[in-house]
Amino acid sequence: MKQNIDRRQFIKNTAVLSTAAAAAPALLGAESSNPAPTGKIRIGYIGCGNVSGSYLPNLTSNPIIEVVSVCDIIPERAKKRAQQFKVPNIYPNIEEQLAGVPFDLLVNTTSMPSHGPVNKKALEAKRNVWSEKPMALEVSFASELLALAKRNGVHIWGSPTCVTSPQFKFMVDTMNSGKIGKVTAGHGTYGHGGPGWSGWFYQKGGGSLYDLGVYNVTTFTGLLGPVKEVVGMETIINPTRKVEDQGEVKVEADENTMLIMNHGNGVLSHVQTGFVYFDGERLAGEGRQLYTIDVTGTKGTMHMQGWDWGPGGVDIASQGEAVLETFCKDPGKYNWVGGASYVAECLLTGKPSLITPEHALHVLEVMNACHESARTGRKVNIETTFKWPLFA
């Protein structure tokens, strides 16, 4: 599937949208006029919970974006964000948002179990979609979304954004330079004590792998290539948790997870993730950046400082240069909540996107294979793949 569309294609797509809107106003709402008439991508934002407090400042300060509506099934949340970020239209559900003021790109930061159904409705209404991870809970549902997007001439992209950081690119370039020899193994870690605001994180369709480990899985598949087979182990440490929205909830989703991936060609990587991790040491002291991604080769090693969604530099030691040296500290324009801005720019300019739906689908299959392996005690083969290497 072509990842980006050029401006002409974008105009064509939105022209289709205009025609469809005229034909089916109940579905698409007021007639969609010229695409980006002010040179901006119009965004409909859905899911005004915790992370919207980070997304909306990024989106509303981007000159190529106009956030035209916000939506949440808890209407006070949408109202609060609308006031805070001066968004003119508020809706209580996706149906009314799609039928309301026209927009080009849905930004979906609802709870994880809502992603698939909400994304599907938006694609059916011929809207482009940026979805928080995962884009759906099942691989079959997510594949259907990719096919639906293609049929309707629109796009879906899924978080996270870590393959767009300068540090990720630097690691790829270092591997390609031969400096660390043949890459053999990777180790990633991402955990904290678990979110305290919403119960869904601990219920079916939630869990630490979808919420946190997903970053490391995206990084390693991006660096080392598509995965062939997976082994996983998962435990639950706390039978129940106290959360702000639901009080005491039963913990049903993975809290403590170990995943091993075989990338083929002899390369293995391992991700550990959990909602049961002490992370105070990572927060102690100004600029303290522990390693979260380690890549080992036959002639050297490299280590990413800080989280892979917000890296602080890359340390390298290699044959003849055995003392670790830090490189690539500058984050440039990279921002972990900048994914929707990134794809908006791709839509507007035709720039190809490094973030692809096929990669997100593959990551979902790997995560679900980890769940299956943990459940059955068996190694699980992976069927999906994506275009790799990411950089030509």
Find the binder of ligand NAD among 59, 62, 100, 132 (CB under 6 A).
Answer: 132
Question: Rounded to the nearest 5 degrees, what angle is found at the Cα of 26, between the Cα atoms of 138 and 92?
Answer: 60
Q: What is the largest CA-CA distance in the chain?
A: 69
Enclosing H/E stretch for 326: strand 321-327
Q: Is 72 in the site for ligand NAD (CB under 6 A)?
A: yes
CB closer to ligand NAD out of 109 and 203? 109
* Contacting residue, 32, 111, 189, 256, with ligand NAD by CB under 6 A: 111
Question: Which is nearest to 309 in space by CA: 390, 147, 188, 151?
Answer: 188
Q: How far is CA 45 from the centre of its chain?
A: 16
Q: How far is the CB of 298 from ligand NAD (least distance, A)?
A: 35
- Beta carbon nearer to ligand NAD, 206 or 300: 206
Among 24, 61, 197, 375, binds ligand NAD (CB under 6 A): 197
Would you say the C-alpha torsion 262, 263, 264, 268 has a positive or negative sign?
negative
CA dihedral 334, 268, 283, 337 (to 10 degrees): 30
The size of the interface with ligand NAD (CB under 6 A), counted in residues, is 24
Task: In angstroms, give the least distance from the CB of 202 to ligand NAD.
Answer: 12
Among 56, 87, 94, 314, binds ligand NAD (CB under 6 A): 94
- Structural contact between residues 105 and 344, judged by C-beta atoms closer than 8 angstroms: yes
Alpha-carbon separation of residue 208 from 190, 225, 276, 358, 371 (angstroms): 9, 23, 9, 22, 11
Q: Does 71 bind ligand NAD (CB under 6 A)?
A: yes
- Give how far Cα 33 sits from Cα of 23, 63, 203, 340, Å: 14, 20, 42, 22
C-beta of residue 45 within 8 angstroms of C-beta of residue 107: yes
Q: Least distance from C-beta 264 to ligand NAD, angstroms?
A: 29
Binding residue for ligand NAD, selected from 51, 64, 148, 290, defined by CB under 6 A: 51
Q: Considering the complex, what minimum distance in angstroms separates the CB of residue 225 from ligand NAD?
A: 25
Pick between residue 41 and residue 106 the one whose CB is nearest to ligand NAD. 106
Q: Which of the ranges 109-117, 170-178, 266-274, 375-383 carries the binding residues for ligand NAD, by CB under 6 A?
A: 109-117
User: What do you get for the CA distance between the two ends of the chain, in Å?
Assistant: 17
Of 72 and 308, the one with the shorter C-beta distance to ligand NAD is: 72
Q: Does 48 bind ligand NAD (CB under 6 A)?
A: yes
In the bound complex, what is the minimum distance in angstroms from residue 99's beta carbon to ligand NAD? 14
3-state secondary structure (DSSP) of residue 270: strand
Place of tokens 């950089």: 391
Residue 77 Cβ vs ligand NAD, minimum distance, rounded to whole Å = 5
Considering only CA atoms, which of 114, 111, 117, 107 is closest in space to residue 55?
107
Cβ proximity to ligand NAD: between 74 and 147 the closer is 74
249 belongs to the binding site for ligand NAD (CB under 6 A) = no
Nearer to ligand NAD, 60 or 296 (CB): 60
Using CB under 6 A, list all residues that contact ligand NAD: 46-51, 71-74, 77, 93-94, 109-112, 114, 118, 132-133, 197-198, 211
